[in-house]
Amino acid sequence: MLTSITDGILCCLTGKTTSLVLPLESSEPSDGFEFVEVKPGRVLRVRHIKPDCDGNRDASVRDTIDADTGTSVHCKRKITVYRNGQLVIENLGDVLHSEILQCQDGDLEPCSTVEVELADYKEMPSSPDPNPVPPVPLPAGEQKPAPPPRRRRRKPKRTVLIDSTQVISSCKGTHSDVALFFVHGVGGSLDIWSSQLEFFSRLGYEVIAPDLAGHGASTAPQIAAAYTFYALAEDLRAIFKRYARKRNILIGHSYGVSFCTFLAHEYPDLVHKVVMINGGGPTALEPSLCSIFQLPSCVLHCLSPCLAWSFLKAGFARQGAKEKQLLKQGNAFNVSPFVLRAMMSGQYWPEGDEVYHAELTVPILLVHGMCDKFVPMEEDQRMAEILLFAFLKVIEEGSHMVMMECPDTVNTLLHEFFLWEPDMSRKGEADHTVSVCDTVNTLKIKKPVDK
């Protein structure tokens, strides 16, 4: 603690940060560490494990891979944004929901309409009631109240139409055209995915996990503009284009979920499925002006022991020796104060609003730790309401770092989601037995929070 305060004072006097994250030489090249220069002088460390399974496959396995064409699902949505801040989503095509733990088939649900009220707008009068109640005659002597103002018909501000066919298939480790991308959040590194990388590489999957700029063993530019959402998103775009296969699955945690959403939106033909772990609600990112991370870097350096302790308390359901060891092994929250401050201040992404998320047509698994103190469960529930193909799974004994606390549970959920393929054989039966439903679910979106 005393050393940290002394370093912070020197930081204030010299104007330089004392701890920098610089690239390290890997002592074990066989572990699959690579250093990729995404821009001149901007180098990211990437863990890339590519199983040598092509030469070991026999003809029967290759035939099975070629025959696995997947199931076609008709994605048709109409998204309407009104001037009073209401968002109406009409699902006109196939809507799939099923239990992932029993995910051998996917049940079709009837078409539905979801109406979302955005909290950023004030209450405004809506359209007239289609079934008005007849007025009640007033007793003699009482004054007749003034009639309510005439309500005008709502005019849409923006309308988005989605009409496409999505091919959803089972992704096995024996499939050579499948790649898994793991993206960490603020203060983390690729080491937080150690259990997942080991588990899925042993199953034959090709896995790719980068360190964001300033994190892990990637370079740490000393300019705040290097840590904006758009700068980091372009880094991950370069990594994705370098390692992408025909079918790619994106797995993001916390702030990393936003980058996975960005890539899924930019490359709908290449992204096959997405996993969002404690990512929060479908709101546009906006940094908090009253956050502790707005303090100068030297002050944050002095407070770094307290911040690390606070992260341990809030990020893990328990704070024992095991959790402290996991935090140390995962190299989490081990970034310079300058990088931490720049990352939190750079979380500005106005395009990533509710409409942006509603446009996604890929199956998405939402994993939430019940004890998470950073992201309320209501936010993931709102995300599940807006997404077209969403599966929400809550792990009761997990918190924000659920993939480190409960690796076996998370690995099982992810693997079953990778193998999941919808069964459309009940489509004809559902059309005859279930009429079109027009249920309206009202959902209030809170203001954006830092991830």
Query: Cα separation of 304 and 310, whole Å?
Result: 10
- Block residue for tokens 């770092």: 401
C-alpha distances in angstroms, 294 versus 15, 19, 340? 16, 18, 10
| C-alpha closest to that of 44 among 212, 207, 170, 186 | 212
The two beta strands, 71-82 and 247-253, are unpaired
Residue among 324, 396, 329 at smallest CA distance from 367: 396
Distances (CA, A) of 110 to 17, 74, 95, 390: 57, 13, 7, 15
Q: Report the catalytic residues.
A: 254, 372, 400
Query: Which residue's entry shows tokens 């199983």?
Result: 51
**HEC profile for 6-73?**
HHHHHHHHHCCCCCCCCCCCCCCHHHCEEEEEEECCEEEEEEEECCCCCCCCCHHHHHHHHHCCCEEE
The whole-angstrom separation of Cα 233 and Cα 352 is 12
Output phi, psi for 263, to 5 deg.
Answer: -65, -40
Concatenate the DSSP letters of all residues of 350-395 into one string. Answer: TT-SHHHHHT--S-EEEEEETT-SSS-HHHHHHHHHHSSSEEEEEE
Those residues whose C-beta lies under 8 Å from the C-beta of residue 300, and which sit 6 or more positions away, are 292, 293, 307, 337, 340, 341
